[in-house]
Structure 1
Amino acid sequence: MHKHIYKHISPRTLYKKLVDSHTVAQLDEQHVLLYADLHIMNEYTSPQAFSSLRQKNRSVLRPQQQLAVVSHIIPTHPVSAAQRVIIDPPSALQASNLKRNCSDFGIKLFDTNHEQQGIEHIIAPEHGWIRPGMVVLCGDSHTTTYGALGALGFGVGTSEVEHILATQTLVYRLAQDMRIRVDGALPAGASVKDLILLIIARIGAQGARGYAVEFSGSTIAALSAEARMTMCNMAVEAGARAALIRPDQTTFAYIRDKAADLAEQEFMQALADWEKLYSDEAVMFDIEHVFLAAEVVPFVTWGTSPDQAIAVNGLIPDPAQAGDEQASAAISQALKYMGLAAGEALLGLPVDRVFIGSCTNGRIEDLRAAAAIVSGRHVAPTVRAMVVPGSGQVRRQAEQEGLAKIFIDAGFEWRQPGCSMCLAMNDDVLAPGERCASTTNRNFEGRQGRGGRTHLMSPAMAAAAAISGCISDARVLEPHHA
C-alpha cells in the first residue's frame, strides 16, 4: 500500500495519470495491462475477433462496455436512413456479420438503417459516452479524437480486439510525453484545421511518433469542444499515439449537455474527479513545442502526406532545396503523383470534387463554417461537391438550422452520414486523376480512390473551392447572404 502511494508523490502528466488509474498490472518496464472503459468496433476490424471467440467458446466479458458502428463501407446516397442498402456483396457481408455478432453477444449496434447511424468518432461523444478520465479503444487510428474530452483514446490492431472483448483489457506499450503549447487568438479566417495542419507541417508526419501529445495554451483553452476534437483527431497524422486536452468548463458543459443518462448528483460527483485531471505544474515533458496562433493562416496540403502542407498563398517546395536525399525523393514522388511542379502556386489550382465531412470535420460547427461561405452562392459548374454529415443527429440539426437548404440551393449533394469519401471503402470515390478539396485527415496515394489527388483543408476552404472551382483563400470570400 505504501509503495503504491509513494509511486504517485512525484509530479505526473495527465497522460500518466490516466494510464496509472487504468493499470491492472505492470508487465515490464515498457508494458502494462490496461483496463478499457469503452471499446468501440466497426465492421471491418472486428470479424476475425468474433470468429476466434467462437472457436475458443469464449464470451464477451462486458458487453455493456462495447459499442459497434457500421460506418466505413456504408453508401451515403441521399435516400432515407430506412432505405439505405449496401449493394457491394463483400461490404454487405461485413455489415450482416457485425449485426449477427452484436446480436449473439449482446452488444449495442448502430446498424446500416439506424436513424442515429454515422461515424463512430462522432456518434460516441455526441451520445455522452466519452467522458474525462476514461480509456477508450477502437480498431481505428482516429480514436485519438476522444482526447478532446480528457479521455485516453487510441487505435488498436485487429488482433488485439479479441483480447479486449474477452478480458476488457489490453497489453499496452507506454508512450513518452510531449506537450504542444499554442498561445494567442486565432486570426480571422483561420480555423483549428489550419492550426493542426501547420503544426503537422512543422514537426513532420513522424514528429510525435511514440508520444502522447498534450495540447495546451490559451489558444487551445479558447477552442470549442468540437474544435478540440479536430485537433486530437489529426494528432495521429504527426505519429502521435494519443492526444489529450485538459478537461475544463468547456468539456464539462459539453458532457452535461450530451450525457442525458447522468443524474445531477452523479454528474457533480464525477466532476469532482474530472477537475483533478491535469498535468501537475512541476512535471517535465520529454519534448515540448511552442506555437503562436498569430502565425496561423489557411493551410492546404500539396503532397501525399498530411505534413506536406503550405499556407494557401505559398509556393510548392522544390525537391532540390530539401535537406537530404530522402526528403528530396519524397517531394519528387509526391509532386509526380499529384501532377504538380515545384515553385507552383496552389491558389487557382482547379479542382474536380469537393468533400465536406469525415470524423475530422463532419460535426455541426464544421457544417456551419462551410455554410457561412456557401450562403447565397453556387457551386462552380466544373465541380461536383458533396456534404456528408458525421451522424444522423448532425444531419437533422443541420436541416433544422437551415444549413442543408443552403447547401442544396448552392448545388451541393446533401447526403446520408458515413465515412464516405474519406477513404475508398465505399462507393464515394475519386476517379483516377480527379483532384479533390477535402476536409478529411489523410491525403495518401489512392486514399480517396486509385489515382485520386487529395488536398486537405478546412471546411471554409473546401466551401470556397467548391464555389470558385479552384483552390481559393476563403478569407477573400467573405460570408454573405443573398
Structure 2
Amino acid sequence: MSSRTLYRKLVDSHTVSVIDESNVLLFCDLHLMNEYTSPQAFAGLHEKGRDVPYPGQNVAVVSHIIPTHPQAVRVIQDPASALQASNLNRNCARHGIPLFDTNDQLQGIEHVVAPEHGMIRPGMVVICGDSHTTTYGALGALGFGIGTSEVEHVLATQTLVYRLAKDMRIRVDGQLPTGVTAKDLVLMVIGKIGAQGARGYVVELCGSAIDALSIEARFTLCNMMVEAGARGALIAPDQKAFDYVLARAVDMAGAARDQALAHGRTLSSDADARFDAEHRFDASEMSPHVTWGTSPDQVAPVTGRVPRLEDLPEQAQRHSAERALSYTRLEPGAALLGIPVQHVFIGSCTNGRIEDLRAVADVVRGRRVVPGVRAMVVPGSGAVRAQAEAEGVADVLIQAGFEWRKPGCSMCLAMNDDVLGEGTRCASTTNRNFEGRQGRGAITHLMSPAMAAAAAVTGVISDVRTLVANHV
C-alpha cells in the first residue's frame, strides 16, 4: 500500500464502500446531537417508519438554547426553545439514546462533554450537526460537522455519504512566548492563510510547538481550524492523548485497552506521505492576537493596528474590511490597545474548559473587574464548573467581580437570553465574530481567556503580558 496521511488512514479504516473516486460511504463511530439540529432529522426518520439501530453510538446534549442563570433548577422560558429541548428528550427516550438534559449535573457544551467523559478516542470518526466538531482532532479522531438531512441518514444507518477532502499540513515549530496561547496561535494562522485558506482540506497540525501543547490547548486549536474553512483538523495522538483518554475512558481495560493503544500508535502520517498543501510557522515569533473585524481572519497582534484600506492587497479584502470597520465602529489605522469594552465573555467550546478558567483566575487574582464592564464566565460543562469550584478558581473569579454562570453555549451565539445589546463591545473567548453573532449590532473581539481577563480588569483591550509582568 502506498504511503498515506493520517487523514487517509482514518477514512480508509472507516470506509464501508467506495461510491466513486470522490465519495465513500463512511462508518461513524459516534454521532453527537443537540437540540436545534436534530428535530427535523427525527421527524424524517419517523415519517419513514425507521428506527435507530445503534442508539449507544449516538449521544445528545442540550447546550445551545439553555439558560445559564445560576439557578438550582433551570427552566427554559422561551416557548420555541423549550419545545426543542422537550422534543429532544422525547426522541432520545423513544430510541434509547443517552441524553445530557437541561438539569443533568453533567450537562454542558457537546464538544466539552464528549471528550471529558472518554467518548472520544484516537482513530474514531465523530460527526455532529455542528461545525466545531473538528475539536476532536486533538485526540487523533476525525471530527466534522454535518447537515440536518445527514443527521437523519446517520441515525438510520450509522453511516454517511462522505466527500473526500484534500490534505494540508501546518507545521509550527519553536516555543510559544510567555502570554501567548493556543488561541493566539490559531488566530494568527487563520489571519495568515485566510478564512477560506483551508477550504476543501483536512488539516494536520504538527511540529514541536504543537507537541508542547496540552490536550485542552489542542482542543482550542482544532476547534477553530474550521474558521479557516477546514473540513477537519487532526493532531497525531501521542502519550499525552493516550493518557487523557485512559484517565476518562473507564471502560478501556485489559486486552481492549492494549489493543486500542497499539492501534493508536499507528495513527500518524507516513514519513513520505504527500500533502496537497503545506504551511510553516515559527511559534517564537508569535504574540497575543485580537480580531478587529467581523471574520476571524480579520485579526492582528494586540500591539498592532487596524489595517488601512489602501494597505490591503486585494479589492475584495478592502471591500470586506471597509464593511467590517463600519460595523465595528473602528477607524483604519487605529491602535488595538486601549479600545474600550463594555462586556467580557469567558466560555464556549473553544475556551470553556478548566485550563481556560485557571488562566483567567491567574490574571484577575487580586484585581477587580472595572466599573462599567460586565464580565461573565460560563463553564463548558457541569464537570468543569464543579472542578473550578473545588479548586477555588470559581472563588477567585467571583471575588474579582465575574458572574459565575451555569454551563452552556450561552453568548457564543446568543441563542438563549445571554444577548449583547446594540453597539456593545465584547472581549470574547469564542470562535466567531460575525455581524450579530452575540446580539444584533453587538461587536465581538476574539481573543484568548487571559487576554479577555486583562480586558475585564482594565476596561480596554490590553496586552496581558504587561499585566502579568506587573502582577504582585
Matched, 1:338 2:321: no
| Cα distance in 2 between the residues matched to 1:255 and 1:386 | 30
Within-5 A mapping of 1:351-390: 351-390=341-380
Partner of residue 347, structure 1: 337
Task: Choose which of 109, 114, 118 in structure 2 pairs with 1:124.
Answer: 114
Specify whether residues 392 and 323 from structure 1 end up closer, same or farther in structure 2 by C-alpha distance, changes over 3 A only.
Answer: same
Corresponding residue number in structure 1 for 2:21: 29
Paired residues in the alignment total 472
Partners of 1:319 and 1:332 within 8 A in 2: yes
Within 5 Å, which residues of 2 pair with 1:63-462? 63-80=55-72, 83-462=73-452
What secondary structure, in the 3-state scheme, does the structure 2 residue paired with 1:121 have?
helix
- Structure 2 CA distance for aligned equivalents of residues 404 and 321 of structure 1: 44
> How far apart are residue 69 of structure 1 and its match?
0.3
Give 1:171 shift. 0.4
Q: What is the CA-CA distance between 1:331 and the residue it aligns to?
A: 0.5
Q: How does 1:454-473 map to 2 (within 5 A)?
A: 454-473=444-463
> Does the 8 Å CA contact 1:144/1:235 hold for their aligned counterparts?
yes
Cα shift at 1:418? 0.1
Deviations along 1:36-78, whole A, 9 cap, x unmatched? Answer: 0000000000001111111111001210100000000000001
Aligned equivalent of 2:38: 46
309-318 or 471-480, which deviates more: 471-480
- Rounded Cα–Cα distance in structure 1 between residues aligned with 2:375 and 2:142: 35
Equivalent AA in structure 1 for residue 75 of structure 2: V
SS of the residue 1:117 aligns to: coil
Measure the CA separation in 2 of the matches of 1:32 and 1:61. 21
SS in structure 1 of the partner of residue 468 of structure 2: coil
Query: Structure 1 counterpart of 2:32, which letter?
Result: I
CA contact (8 A) 1:375 1:480 kept: no
State which of 50, 54, 71 in structure 2 corresponds to 1:62.
54
For residues 251 and 159 of structure 1, the distance between their equivalents in structure 2, rounded to whole angstroms, comes to: 33
Counterpart for residue 6 of structure 1: none
Hey, what's the Cα distance between the residues in 2 that align with 1:295 and 1:285?
A: 25
Q: What percentage of residue pairs aligned between the two structures are identical?
A: 67
Q: Deviations over 1:294-324 (max 9, x none)?
A: 1110000000000000000101001122212
Residue ranges of structure 1 left out of the alignment (5+ in a row): 1-8
Structure 1 residue 481: deviation in Å? 7.5
Q: Distance in 2 between matches of 1:265 and 1:354?
A: 48
Residue type matched to 1:432 in 2?
Answer: E
Distance 1:84 1:479, change over 3 A: farther
Counterpart AA for 1:333: R
SS at 1:170 equivalent: strand
Q: Letter of the aligned partner of 1:145 in structure 2?
A: T
Shift of 1:396: 0.4
Cα shift at 1:268: 1.6
Q: Compared with structure 1, are the counterparts of its residues 15 and 231 closer, same or farther at alpha carbon in structure 2 (3 Å cutoff)?
A: same
Task: Give the C-alpha shift of residue 269 in structure 1.
Answer: 1.6
Counterpart residue identity of residue 193, structure 1 = K
4+ runs deviating over 2 angstroms: 479-482
Partner of 1:197, secondary structure, is helix
Q: Cα offset for 1:264?
A: 3.7
Take 1:466 and 1:327, find their aligned partners in 2: how far apart are those partners? 31
Counterpart CA distance in 2 for 1:281 and 1:186 is: 26
3-state SS in 2 of match to 1:478? helix
Paired residues of 1:372 and 1:479 also in contact (CA < 8 A): no
Q: TM-score, normalised by structure 1?
A: 0.97
Residue in 2 that maps onto 1:11: 3
Deviations 1:201-238 (A, max 9, x none): 00000000000000000000111111100000000000
